[in-house]
Structure formats: structure tokens, C-alpha cells
Amino acid sequence: MTRSDVVVIGAGLAGLTAARTLRAAGRTVTVLEARDRVGGRNLGSHLAGGVPVEMGGQWIGPGQTEVLALVAELGLETFPTYDDGAAVTFYNGTLTTYSDETFGLSLEAAIEAGRLQGELETIAETVSLSAPWLSPRAAELDRRTLDEWLRANTGNAEVLAFWGAVVTALFSAEPAEMSLLHFLFYIKSGGMLDSLVATTGGAQELRVVGGTHQISERLADALGDAVRLGSPVRKISHGPDGVEVHFDGGQVTARRAVVAIPPTLAGRLTYEPALPASRDGLTQQIPMGSVIKVQVAYPTPFWREAGLNGFAFDLDGELSVTLDNSPPDASRGVIVGFFEGAHARSAGRLSPEERRASVVATLVKLFGPDAQNPIDYAEQNWMEEEYTRGCYGGRLGAGVWTQYGAALAEPVGRLHWAGAETSDIWNGYMDGAVRSGHRAAAEVLAALEA
Ligand SMILES: Cc1cc2nc3c(=O)[nH]c(=O)nc-3n(C[C@H](O)[C@H](O)[C@H](O)COP(=O)(O)OP(=O)(O)OC[C@H]3O[C@@H](n4cnc5c(N)ncnc54)[C@H](O)[C@@H]3O)c2cc1C
């Protein structure tokens, strides 16, 4: 039986950040990680020629100050995502190349999409990030889905197709799968839509040289044998005297626990005594999104020669968004693409060969015949990962914020909750995960010192 001041469950960015902060404050800590690697939703891989790519979270934007600070502290470097040239949008059988703010939509649709953005952001300004359920119009905003709001506010099919692609690109979930309040909270949490969608100046601006998984690896290296891999937690006993965490291979006793796994996975653990209904009810209602991420390698980033930056929305197809993901020296060309939401669920039923063929066909449609013969292809289906069960993160459907939201980060006795889903700033992002680790560690330290 191992004894520590604090036991942390999950060695993703949230858990490792919490552990690092606790260790720095002089506390002993044990981190239990189910997988045989750290990093969770950050996963590194290599394509032909040794090109490093991320199969999970990869981009960092200018407002993401906590993760940027961590990257710098750990001696990692960033480089800008390639963003020179025109983007393309495929809609209704037509490919449109554009370099302006229209996203390749018809003028009428671009104006209408912009009007909806303005209206949504005006309402989002009224949403409380620290307590969305206490926002002035919380009940009204939470009883509707985003889909219902969009359809009530436009009848333009092109605009609805565009919004469908934007929403699934941000959430890996459909507009019908989240409440309007959740959508508004989330866009405000990340600095509104332009910040979330943009490459330069937005959330996709920077990449980490060698891959974001190194952030977790370096955090774990510094924690040494405090991090125990291959240790899935099954049960947490908790009471006034402390916590006892049971994992495959042993037990850890501690004064407090930080549970740094997505809420839906936290809900699958056994608690003794059982958690309050408010907390258990919450974890029953934060499903993960659906995404399959693909990386396609070519000898060169040939699309750049055609003046394209690799960014595409396919409003007709299943691989709905792509970006240039080539290495900084452009020694290979790499396109990253995403099957998201309903598209991920249908693509997930295909064989890997069928999926690859579908991806290549889409890239030929978007970038021309040079896309026909990739030199490498990699994919990651996050829905099938036992210790993630979908990505990018959890979302709240109609009624959940107002009925259960208060239980999202509120400690239950000696149990504290961390993870990207619990952050009020950059919720769902790596930055939010880091912030949640800091917040949970601060809660624990305050409690231990009381
Ligand atoms: C395809 C994809 C693309 C993304 N793109 C971006 C992006 O570009 N930019 C960005 O900022 N974010 C992005 N994200 C989101 C970002 O990766 C996550 O928000 C962040 O990594 C979450 O960190 P976390 O520590 O909260 O959770 P996780 O990374 O999920 O960590 C939880 C850890 O707990 C472990 N665990 C689970 N169950 C147990 C158990 N029972 N016992 C012990 N351990 C357990 C898991 O194995 C995991 O290591 C993306 C995610 C995905 C999947």
C-alpha cells in the first residue's frame, strides 16, 4: 500500500499539472495512469520520413497563456501553423477558393452567417463563465439546443451547412447535441468564434516542435516514479480520514484525491460511499464528442504551389475540415483532416481501407489530382479508446448546465475534480486542462493547510 499526501488519477495535462504544483508546494503525490503512456488526449506519432505529427490535441493559440507558459518552462518550442494563401470550401458540388472573410460562401450566405455570429456572441457576452447556470437567461438558453436556435434564426441551407461544419469542427458534436447555453459558454470561454476558428491570431496559430505529447512526457519525467503507468483506477473509498484508491495492481492511501479524467469516465468508477446524486447525475450527462483524426503525407506540400494554405471546409462530405500540417521545414507535405460528430460515427463503421480511400477521394476533390497518391496515412479513432471514449471533450446537452452544472468542479469531501471539461477559460482545450490542474491543486493545498 502506497501512502501520499495526494493521489492524482490520470496523467494527462490536468493531472500532471496538478501533481507538479502539489510537488512544488512540498506535498508527496502519486499519479495513477491507466495507459502505458502519459499524455491522454495528447498522442505523438510519426509519418514516413520521421515527420512528427499529433494524433490528438496539437494547436495552441495566442490567448492560451497557461499552456504557453508551461511549454516555455519545459524548454519546448513552437512554430506557426502554415497559413499563407487561399482556402477552399466545397458546397453543393462546387469548389470555391477564397482569401477573404467569406469562408467561400455566397455573398448572401456569408452576410447571413455573420449576422448569426454577431447575435450569438451578443448573447454569449451575458453568460457567466464561472457559473453558467447563474447567467441572467440561463434557463431559457439551456432549454434549447443550438440546432433549434440556428433553424429558428435562418432558413438558408448554405448557412446551416456552414454552421454545422463550424460547430462540429469545434466540438466534434452536432448542433443538436448541445444546449445553446453550452455553446455560448464554450465560445466565450475561448474568446469568441473568430478566436476559436482562426489559424493566425486564433486557436490554431502555433504547433509544438516535435509534438504536444512532450509536454506531458517532460512533466512526468520530473515527477519520476511518482507516476505509475498501467494502473487503471477502479474504485475510490473516501471519508473524513482520507481516501483509498484501488487500481489494477494495488492501492494508494492519501489525504485527498484529484480525479483528472473526463467526467463521463469519472462516472464509471466505483465510489464508496456513492457520490451525491447531483455529482453522479452530472457524470451521466457529459458525453464525449466523436472524432477520427487523419494525417496524410505527400512528398511535398504541393497545394502551396497552387497558392493554397491547405485549409478546407467540405460542407458536402464527411471529412469536413482540413489544414496544412507539414513540418516547419516543409520536407514533406502533410494534410490533417477530421471526421467529426455524425460523420465520425458513420466513418467509424467503415474498414480502415475504405476510410483511407474516402479521405484520399476528398483530398483530390479539394486539392486536385496530386492528392491521389499519398506516401503515408495515419488515423486515430478516439471513440474506440477505452480511457478516453471520444474527443475532443465532453459537452453538455439541453438542461444539463442548469440542473447539474454546479457539480462540475465542486469538490465532494476529499475528492477534487480536474480536466479540460472543468475549466472556465479555454474549456475543452489543453490550456483549460492546465488551468484545471492548477485550480485543483490550489484547492487541495488550501484544504491541507486549513
Ligand atoms: C483529436 C483531438 C484533437 C484535439 N485538438 C486540440 C487542439 O488542437 N488544441 C487543444 O488545445 N486541444 C485539443 N484537443 C483537446 C485536448 O487534447 C484536451 O483538452 C486535453 O488534452 C485534455 O487533458 P486532460 O488532462 O483534461 O484529459 P486527458 O488527456 O483525457 O487525460 C486523462 C488521463 O486519465 C487517464 N485515465 C482515464 N481513465 C483512467 C482510470 N480509470 N484510471 C487511471 N487513469 C485513467 C487517461 O488515460 C488519460 O491519460 C484535442 C483532442 C483530440 C482528441
pTM score over 0.95: yes
With bands split at pLDDT 50, 70 and 90, how would you rate the model's confidence at 259?
A: very high
Nearest CA to ligand 1 atom 10: 429
Question: According to the model, what pLDDT value does residue 450 have?
Answer: 86
Atom of ligand 1 nearest to the CA of 433: 26
In degrees and rounded to multiples of 5, residue 288 shows phi and psi of -80, 155
Q: Say yes or no: domain 2-40+212-287+395-449 is CATH 3.90.420.10.
A: no
Provide the edge-to-edge strand list for the sheet that holds 376-381: 94-98, 86-91, 308-314, 319-324, 333-340, 291-298, 376-381
The answer to whether 14 and 427 have CB atoms below 8 angstroms apart is no
Q: From CA 273, how far away is CA 158, in angstroms rounded? A: 52
* C-alpha 421 to ligand 1 mean position (Å): 10
What's the confidence (pLDDT) of residue 171? 98
In this predicted model, what pLDDT tens digit does every residue of 181-237 receive, in sequence order?
A: 999 999 999 999 999 999 999 999 999 999 999 999 999 999 999 999 999 999 999
The topology (CATH level 3) of 109-190 is Guanine Nucleotide Dissociation Inhibitor; domain 1 (1.10.405)
What is the 434 CA–ligand 1 centroid distance (Å)? Answer: 11
Note whether 267 and 257 are within 8 A (CB).
no
Q: What are phi and psi of 252, to 5 degrees?
A: -125, 130
| H/E element, 391 | none
CATH number corresponding to 44-63+71-84+201-209+288-384: 3.90.660.10
Distances (CA, A) of 434 to 38, 58, 368, 397: 14, 14, 40, 24
Residue owning the nearest CA to atom 20 of ligand 1: 430
137-195 confidence digits (pLDDT tens): 999 999 999 999 999 999 999 999 999 999 999 999 999 999 999 999 999 999 999 99
Across residues 287-292, what is the average pLDDT?
98
Give me the phi and psi of 334, to 5 degrees please.
-130, 130
Domain ranges of the chain: 2-40+212-287+395-449, 44-63+71-84+201-209+288-384, 109-190
Rounded CA gap, 416 and 238, in Å?
12
Please write the tens of the pLDDT for every residue from 304-360: 999 999 999 999 999 999 999 999 999 999 999 999 999 999 999 999 999 999 999
DSSP bridge pairs for 218:
none
**Greatest CA separation found in the chain?**
66
Residue 236: the pLDDT is 98
Pure H helices in 231-387? 263-266, 277-283, 302-305, 342-347, 352-367
Residue 1 confidence (pLDDT): 82
What is the CB < 6 Å shell around ligand 1?
9-15, 32-35, 40-42, 56-59, 232-233, 260-262, 265, 291, 293, 382, 387-388, 391-393, 419-420, 428-431, 433
- Percent share of the chain, pLDDT over 70: 100
Nine-digit cell at 115? 449576422
